[in-house]
Amino acid sequence: MRRRDVVRGMSGGLLAAAGAALLPEAVAARRASQRPPAARGVPPLKITDIQTILTAPNGIRLVIVKVLTSEPGLVGYGCATFTQRALVVQTAVDQYLRPFLVGRNVDEIEDIWQSSYVSSYWRNGGVLFNAMSGVDIALWDIKGKRANMPLYQLLGGKVRKGADCYYHASGRDFAEVEDNARKGMAEGFRHVRVQCAVPGLATYGARSTGATDRTEAIGPTNPGRIWESAAYVRMVPQLFEHLRTTLGDEVELLHDVHERVQLNEAINLCRALEPYRLFFLEDPFPPEDNGYFRLLRQQTSIPLAMGELFNTVQEFLPLISERLIDFIRVHISQIGGLSPARKVQALSEFFGVRTAWHGPGDASPVAHAAQLALELASYNFGIHEGGRFPPETREVFRGCPVIENGYMLATEAPGLGIEVDETLAAKFPFPPGPPHFDYSWGTTRRRDGTVIRP
């Protein structure tokens, strides 16, 4: 063999070997062999117990679910508050969900929700969903604590510094509503919900001026709290005329109809309110009349909010997908917790609908903290309701979110950032009963005795 052929063959072999060594697979394999072994994440934990905490630090019946884990001291808290049926939710948690879920892996949040959803065969009810919500939110709390992160970080991180809140201002007359609105504005709130009493009637959201002292049973032939919508529909535009004149245009004004008008009244009311530039008008119809929104949307440009009485997505999916509302108002515990709320938020974003989760006094600080975590990480956040916690509530729920200049801010503690002082919670038992619920629902009637919905 000639010397030149030998050299050429050796060169080709060396180049081939070098090329093989430089293949991506070979390079990746070599690098992987040089790395330390990857961590395998946190160890699995089990649910060891589920407990309910009943407390009413400011006279409102709150139901809190506490999930205990196989890691000593690691617990999570969730809100299961269904004020009007609190004791039934307690039974659902203690007698049904607890034995169903003890022993489950705390990380299996989605499967726990789905399996709990079908565990009673008949589903979709407010009692089951609130019980499930307590467990669901508590599991998210645990996940945040295990990651040593505030929950909003696990949901995608902040897209805003805080959640704009709206202040509640009501009164017996226009002047009192104005005075209370100014109090909220002085505290830094840029959004104010205004409600005014109608003389002689049991008006939602304002102190009643009608006679309510009745000792006999209320029924269709013996009405007590009386409501008629005609006087209300005439009054509300006058209220907004007064407030825009006295408060100016900078403050955002909201109003809750609370479903107490007929279709033609809702259309006329919306048209009359358009000049006053409401941030939104809430609940013009009850959920049973969802079909009316198609007609109302054609008649007015006023922003519409709806949803606090909804249970399942089938109820509000058409309102979102057909862009018939501007704000979705579902109550997070009423639809089953943070897991379904995340899906509602994502769905709404694609249709230009903003979130305005229902957050009245019977949404516990735990519920507000869960909403806040989602709001901080959601592009289509609209507004946060309320959120001012009285001193007794703050003492029971240590680590409540704080309000500064009208914004609700996260505490930056892991998980939801709230711990429940159970010893102090026990010092605020439910108000004695019966009744164990608000009797105004189901007893407010028209003058002819017809019960008002809701």
Tokens of 294: 């198609």
CATH of segment(s) 153-417: 3.20.20.120
pLDDT at residue 1, rounded to an integer? 47
Is the Cβ–Cβ distance between 87 and 436 less than 8 Å? yes
Radius of gyration (Cα) for the chain, nearest Å? 28
Tokens of 289: 């009349």
Could you report the per-residue pLDDT of 18-28, keeping only the tens digit for each? 444 445 565 55
Residues in a beta bridge with 79: 64
Is the Cβ–Cβ distance between 344 and 312 less than 8 Å? no
Q: Which of 168, 191, 258, 358 is catalytic?
A: 258
Is the Cβ–Cβ distance between 152 and 377 less than 8 Å? yes
Is the Cβ–Cβ distance between 445 and 228 less than 8 Å? no
Element (H, E) at 67: strand 62-69
> Span 297-313, mean pLDDT?
96
How far, in whole angstroms, is CA 324 from its chain's centroid?
A: 20
Between CA 365 and CA 371 the distance in angstroms is 10
- Per-residue burial over 98-119, b if 16 or more Cβ lie within 10 Å, else e, is bebbeebebbebeebbeebbee
pLDDT at residue 439, rounded to an integer? 72
> Span 398-422, mean pLDDT?
96
Asked about 407 being catalytic, the answer comes back as no
Could you report the per-residue pLDDT of 338-359, keeping only the tens digit for each? 999 999 999 999 999 999 999 9
Domain residue extents for the chain: 153-417
Closest CA to 64 of 54, 56, 72: 54
Give the pLDDT band of residue 434 (cuts 50, 70, 90): confident
Per-residue pLDDT for 286 more than 50?
A: yes
Between CA 58 and CA 360 the distance in angstroms is 13
> pTM value?
0.89
Please give the mean pLDDT across all residues of the chain: 91
> Span 187-214, mean pLDDT?
84
| CA 287, 313, 416, 150 torsion-angle sign | negative
Residues in a beta bridge with 256: 282
Asked about 204 being catalytic, the answer comes back as yes
Per-residue pLDDT for 208 more than 70?
A: no
Q: Which of 166, 167, 204, 276 is catalytic?
A: 204
> Span 93-116, mean pLDDT?
98
Give the pLDDT band of residue 217 (cuts 50, 70, 90): confident
